[in-house]
Amino acid sequence: MAAHPVSPLAPQSYPDLPAVAGVRFATAEAGIKYKNRTDTLLVALDPGTVLAGVLTTSKCPSAAVDWCRANLGHGKARALLVNSGNANAFTGKKGLAAVNRSADIVAAALGVAPEEIFLASTGVIGEPLDAEKFAPVMVGLKSRLADGPWMDAAKAIMTTDTFPKVATASIDFDGVPVVISGIAKGSGMIAPDMATMLSFVFTDMPIDPTILQGLLQPAVDVSFNAVTVDSDTSTSDTCLVFATGKAAIEPILSADDPRVAVFAQALTDVLEELAIHVVRDGEGATKMVSVTVLGAVSDTSARRIAQTIANSPLVKTAIAGEDANWGRVVAAVGKAGEPADRDLLSISFGDIRVASLGERDPTYDEAEVSAYMKNAEIVIRVELGLGAGSGTVYTCDLTHGYITINGDYRS
Amino acid sequence: MAAHPVSPLAPQSYPDLPAVAGVRFATAEAGIKYKNRTDTLLVALDPGTVLAGVLTTSKCPSAAVDWCRANLGHGKARALLVNSGNANAFTGKKGLAAVNRSADIVAAALGVAPEEIFLASTGVIGEPLDAEKFAPVMVGLKSRLADGPWMDAAKAIMTTDTFPKVATASIDFDGVPVVISGIAKGSGMIAPDMATMLSFVFTDMPIDPTILQGLLQPAVDVSFNAVTVDSDTSTSDTCLVFATGKAAIEPILSADDPRVAVFAQALTDVLEELAIHVVRDGEGATKMVSVTVLGAVSDTSARRIAQTIANSPLVKTAIAGEDANWGRVVAAVGKAGEPADRDLLSISFGDIRVASLGERDPTYDEAEVSAYMKNAEIVIRVELGLGAGSGTVYTCDLTHGYITINGDYRS
């Protein structure tokens, strides 16, 4: 894989992620595929840690996704092993053997049960993963386990990512701070309506795993499921949230606990920030784009139309070319397969209304909107005028960079 | 619009299209948008001509599509006016006024009823079409009406097309030749499950318009609806078939007439040839790709999976990069939302089986398949192993050329 320049949309600075009590980790160079960089992350979780997870709905999931799905049910976790450089997807019986062997290596090192170990792999599809490569680095990983720095963890799981992705939130429950910190990776093969690429979130909140699982899906729906880079859904999408329960407060044991809403909002904030980082690192991206659809017959319909616009290669190449080609937004609305009435449709780019009620806005000024298109962040708003449904999807532009990156990914 | 180099997939030679009795046409430079090229095609059809049509299912159709839909019902046609450079789409009341005025201009010149005139426009969306520009060229158009050359007609309707698209077939019914000749345009904003971009087909076959209409949809399904360039569906897709009835044979008046199947096959052949020309002129295309899915639970399911593969930007960029990245085909199958079992899945590139039963084929040879990827025509075959459903979709690769063309289309 060629090195690609850092996305111009990368954050100017990174937050300082605090330690999460009960979470220790380390990274290593296992030599899975890359040279001279870390490719393996081991996270050790204290006894009592529970988890929730959302996994890809791909019909061709990776062996690691199969493994996580089989073990999510009991809601308990003691370790997480992630590698980059190989997705262990479409690897048949070899893939199954590799996840079994990986879990055995971690289980032996940490003295925990294999079914409490979670696995994730990201990289090339179809290449068998040599799990034996984890064995020689495991002793060193165990000896280096520590509660930071989180940036090292985020870097070890990168593939075509050009910057590491971290986010954190803190909640104060009656004077006791609760931390939620997460990492993510993803840059291409990113599409909504699925879990995500890889994202791992850690909190010291004491919470029942069933309640945590119930919070996670809606949070994923407005974060990872609301972003698209290229409409291509991964075989390996995995979002796991681990809760160590170490914060010195009463645990959340009921969905009626008033702290649930507060915690859910903070969790959603962390996932949204990570999801937007993924878009900002979209392969070849030079513009961050948000597409909001209002006035649809339902939120689901609004979201589908927003996705169709956000996935349209013609809309995305026009944005890359700083061309205010709103006619392509019209075409995308038209093809979405959702209720829409051409003659009620209005479209804005930023605060500039470009089309109203089925035709070009009478005040349309090409120079004004062309100037707006030079911004690094583009906001598209579509008003359908049919109902009260709304939805937002985040995406990036489609540039020569995307073609270059994906024409030579394996070489 | 910048001039783009002719597609490397353009045909080496063009067929000589014979005259179709009852069809005369001429082209003109009306100055709609382009300079120094024809942008208007007028076709005059003899009395007795019937027609069938399939139009875009976009929720934001052009004013010309609305016009054709309103007039298709009676099945009679005396004229066709097509312009390039402006789609007359999303133009509100101005668009409606423009189609009325266009039809009036043609009606006055040819002495035919407006409802027997069919209209099509292709080009930029959202820009009002100035129909008055047709008035000064109409006298000249009428005076130049002739039964050839068809290449001039095909050229006048081009937008980002880099070569004109024509196809012809001839049938012998008991010694009487029947001709079917057609033209098409289209290069970007091409997606299946719709009519097409613009395509106009002419035949001297005497045939009942209801029977003709019944033949057209299945023919479109395996031709224009089986191609995709960029998954973006146009507001203007229009496929019209005109039958002058001038061939000296008994007309087809019953769907049970044994000649129906022969005629339908020839019509399908012409539409398929035109549709494949559209893909070969896909914006930025350097490779022609066919994707066949076998063993699906139904033909519909097979076709949806084939479309998902053919629309995957990651599959298309890999083909552009001559990278045999079949893992991306796996990912596309997985995201298609159709029944698939990873562990029954097999994939071939050309005659080379790259994956069998859920993993890399034991005989996989990277050098062999890399050599295959250098071909200008790539055949992908996916065997699902679930049932007897099959389907084929045609597409092209996704290259820097597509980004360049679509980043500056309006400038």
User: Does B232 sit within 8 Å of A331, measured CB to CB?
Assistant: yes
- B51 — phi, psi (to 5°)? -150, 160
Sequence-ordered list of residues with C-beta below 8 angstroms from that of B266, at least 6 positions apart, any chain: B169, B170, B171, B180
Q: How far is B346 from chain A (nearest CA, A)?
A: 11
Alpha-carbon distance B356 to B187, whole Å? 35
Which element (helix H / strand E) includes A63?
helix A63-72
Residue A186: pLDDT band (50, 70, 90) is confident
Res. A408: pLDDT tops 80? no
Residue B143: pLDDT band (50, 70, 90) is very high
pLDDT of the residue at B191 = 58
Instruction: Yes or no: say if B121 and B62 are a contact pair by the CB < 8 Å rule.
Output: yes
Which of B127, B318, B355 is facing A406, going by the closest CB pair?
Answer: B318
Question: Which of these ranges, B201-205, B232-236, B251-255, B327-331, has the smallest mean pLDDT?
Answer: B232-236
Alpha-carbon distance A157 to A153, whole Å? 7
Which range, A160-174, A388-402, B139-153, B173-187, has the best average confidence (pLDDT)?
A: B139-153
Q: What is the number of CB-based contacts under 8 A between chain A and chain B?
A: 232
pLDDT of the residue at A190 = 62
Phi-psi region of B189 (alpha: psi -120 to 50; beta: other; left: phi over 0): left
Kindly list the distances between the CA atom of residue B252 and the CA atoms of B52, B237, B244, in Å, as whole numbers in the listed order. Answer: 14, 28, 13
- Residues from chain A that touch B297, judged by Cβ atoms under 8 A, are none
Taking alpha carbons only, the member of A127, A200, A133, A180 closest to residue A19 is A180
Alpha-carbon distance B283 to B188, whole Å? 6
Alpha-carbon distance B99 to B67, whole Å? 7
Active centre residues of B (catalytic): 196
- A404 — phi, psi (to 5°)? -60, -45
As a whole number, mean pLDDT of residues A7-23 equals 88
Q: How far is A297 from chain B (nearest CA, A)?
A: 14
**Burial class for B367, CB neighbours closer than 10 Å (0-12, 13-18, 19+):** exposed
User: Does A233 sit within 8 Å of B335, measured CB to CB?
Assistant: yes
Alpha-carbon distance B301 to A365, whole Å? 46
Residue A281: pLDDT band (50, 70, 90) is confident
Res. A98: pLDDT tops 80? yes
Taking each helix axis as running N to C, give the angle between helix B327-335 and helix B313-320, from 0 to 180 degrees, rounded to the nearest 10.
160
Which of A60, A323, A335 is facing B232, going by the closest CB pair?
Answer: A335
User: Does A60 sit within 8 Å of B355, measured CB to CB?
Assistant: no
- Residues from chain B that touch A60, judged by Cβ atoms under 8 A, are 330-331, 333-334, 340, 342, 345
Res. A196: pLDDT tops 60? no
DSSP per position, B287-356:
-EEEEEEEEESSHHHHHHHHHHHHH-HHHHHHHHTT---THHHHHHHHHS-S---GGG-EEEETTEEEEE
Residue A130: pLDDT band (50, 70, 90) is very high
Which of B234, B321, B331 is facing A407, going by the closest CB pair?
Answer: B321
Question: Which of these ranges, A341-345, B57-61, B305-309, B385-389, has the smallest mean pLDDT?
Answer: B57-61
Residue B24: pLDDT band (50, 70, 90) is very high
Taking alpha carbons only, the member of A213, A156, A126 closest to residue A27 is A156
ipTM entry = 0.76
- What's CA A245's distance to the chain center, in Å? 24
Alpha-carbon distance A182 to A134, whole Å? 24
Alpha-carbon distance A373 to A321, whole Å? 9
User: Does B355 sit within 8 Å of A126, measured CB to CB?
Assistant: yes
Alpha-carbon distance B195 to B64, whole Å? 14
Res. B364: pLDDT tops 70? yes
Nearest CA in chain A to B233: A335
Sequence-ordered list of residues with C-beta below 8 angstroms from that of B27, at least 6 positions apart, any chain: B38, B40, B41, B42, B141, B152, B153, B155, B156
pLDDT of the residue at B301 = 95
Mutate: best of B4, B90, B301, B366, partner A, most A CBs <10 A: B90
Instruction: Yes or no: say if A41 and A158 are a contact pair by the CB < 8 Å rule.
Output: no
- Taking domain B288-407, whether its CATH number is 3.30.420.40 is answered by no
Q: Token pair of B203, please?
A: 């035949």
Q: How far is A100 from chain B (nearest CA, A)?
A: 17
Q: Token pair of A116, please?
A: 């409490």
Pick B375 or A190 by higher pLDDT: B375
User: Does A233 sit within 8 Å of B312, measured CB to CB?
Assistant: no
Which of A124, A232, A340 is facing B312, going by the closest CB pair?
Answer: A232
pLDDT of the residue at B1 = 40
Alpha-carbon distance B235 to B255, whole Å? 32
User: Does B318 sit within 8 Å of A403, measured CB to CB?
Assistant: no
Taking alpha carbons only, the member of A167, A224, A166, A155 closest to residue A195 is A224
Q: How far is B228 from chain A (nearest CA, A)?
A: 12
Res. B211: pLDDT tops 70? yes
pLDDT of the residue at A411 = 44
Which of B232, B234, B398 is facing A403, going by the closest CB pair?
Answer: B398
The tally of CA atoms less than 13 A away on the side-chain side of residue B255 is 8
User: Does B189 sit within 8 Å of A360, measured CB to CB?
Assistant: no
pLDDT 10s digits, B400-411? 888 888 886 554
- Taking domain B23-280, whether its CATH number is 2.60.120.260 is answered by no
Alpha-carbon distance A240 to B277, whole Å? 48
Instruction: Read off the pTM.
Output: 0.80
Which of B60, B358, B411 is facing A333, going by the closest CB pair?
Answer: B60
- What's CA B327's distance to the chain center, in Å? 30
Query: What are the E-state strand segments in A77-175?
Result: 79-86, 117-124, 165-173
- Residues from chain A that touch B332, judged by Cβ atoms under 8 A, are 232
Phi-psi region of B64 (alpha: psi -120 to 50; beta: other; left: phi over 0): alpha
Kindly list the distances between the CA atom of residue B408 and the CA atoms of A282, A292, A354, in Å, as whole numbers in the listed order. Answer: 21, 25, 19
- 3-state SS assignment for residue A137: helix
- What's CA B83's distance to the chain center, in Å? 16
- Residues from chain A that touch B191, judged by Cβ atoms under 8 A, are 335
- 3-state SS assignment for residue A265: helix
Q: Token pair of B141, please?
A: 């158009």
- 3-state SS assignment for residue B360: strand
pLDDT of the residue at A215 = 87
Alpha-carbon distance A281 to A9, whole Å? 7
Q: How far is B165 from chain A (nearest CA, A)?
A: 23
As a whole number, mean pLDDT of residues B253-267 equals 91
User: Does A314 sit within 8 Å of B406, measured CB to CB?
Assistant: yes
Q: Token pair of A335, please?
A: 């093809």
pLDDT of the residue at B401 = 86
Residue B281: pLDDT band (50, 70, 90) is confident
User: Does B323 sit within 8 Å of A407, measured CB to CB?
Assistant: yes
Res. A64: pLDDT tops 80? yes
User: Does B60 sit within 8 Å of A330, measured CB to CB?
Assistant: yes
Tokens 């995709």 sit on residue: B228
- B294 — phi, psi (to 5°)? -120, 160
Res. B2: pLDDT tops 50? no
Alpha-carbon distance B216 to B238, whole Å? 12
- Residues from chain B that touch A285, judged by Cβ atoms under 8 A, are none
Res. A192: pLDDT tops 50? no
Q: Token pair of B273, please?
A: 């040839």
- Residues from chain A that touch B330, judged by Cβ atoms under 8 A, are 60, 89-90, 125-126, 235
pLDDT of the residue at B197 = 67
Are β-strands A40-45 and A198-203 bridged in parallel, bridged antiparallel, or unpaired?
A: unpaired
As a whole number, mean pLDDT of residues A339-359 equals 93
- Residues from chain B that touch A314, judged by Cβ atoms under 8 A, are 188-189, 230, 232, 406
pLDDT 10s digits, A328-344? 899 889 888 899 998 99
Instruction: Yes or no: say if B318 and A407 are a contact pair by the CB < 8 Å rule.
Output: yes
Alpha-carbon distance B407 to A282, whole Å? 18
Q: How far is B124 from chain A (nearest CA, A)?
A: 7
- Residues from chain B that touch A406, judged by Cβ atoms under 8 A, are 313-314, 317-318, 321
H helices within B174-230, ranges in order? 209-221
Taking alpha carbons only, the member of B342, B109, B333, B15 closest to residue A62 is B342
Q: Token pair of B243, please?
A: 């039958």
Nearest CA in chain B to A339: B59
Q: What is the CA radius of gyration of chain A?
A: 22
pLDDT of the residue at B194 = 44
Alpha-carbon distance A261 to A243, whole Å? 16
Instruction: Yes or no: say if A77 and A118 are a contact pair by the CB < 8 Å rule.
Output: yes
pLDDT of the residue at B190 = 62
Sequence-ordered list of residues with C-beta below 8 angstroms from that of A398, at least 6 positions apart, any chain: A230, A284, A313, A316, A317, A319, A320, B313, B403
Share of chain A above pLDDT 70, in %: 95
Secondary structure letter of residue B76 according to DSSP: B
H helices within B40-91, ranges in order? 63-72
Secondary structure letter of residue A22 according to DSSP: T
Phi-psi region of A350 (alpha: psi -120 to 50; beta: other; left: phi over 0): left
Which of B92, B333, B335 is facing A359, going by the closest CB pair?
Answer: B92
Across chain B, mean pLDDT equals: 89
Alpha-carbon distance A72 to A117, whole Å? 10
Which element (helix H / strand E) includes B122?
strand B117-124
B117-124 sheet: strands from edge to edge: B23-28, B40-45, B79-86, B117-124
Sequence-ordered list of residues with C-beta below 8 angstroms from that of A258, at least 6 positions apart, any chain: none
Ranges of each domain in chain A: 23-280, 288-407
Residue A91: CB atoms within 10 A of its CB come to 24
Sequence-ordered list of residues with C-beta below 8 angstroms from that of B175, at least 6 positions apart, any chain: none
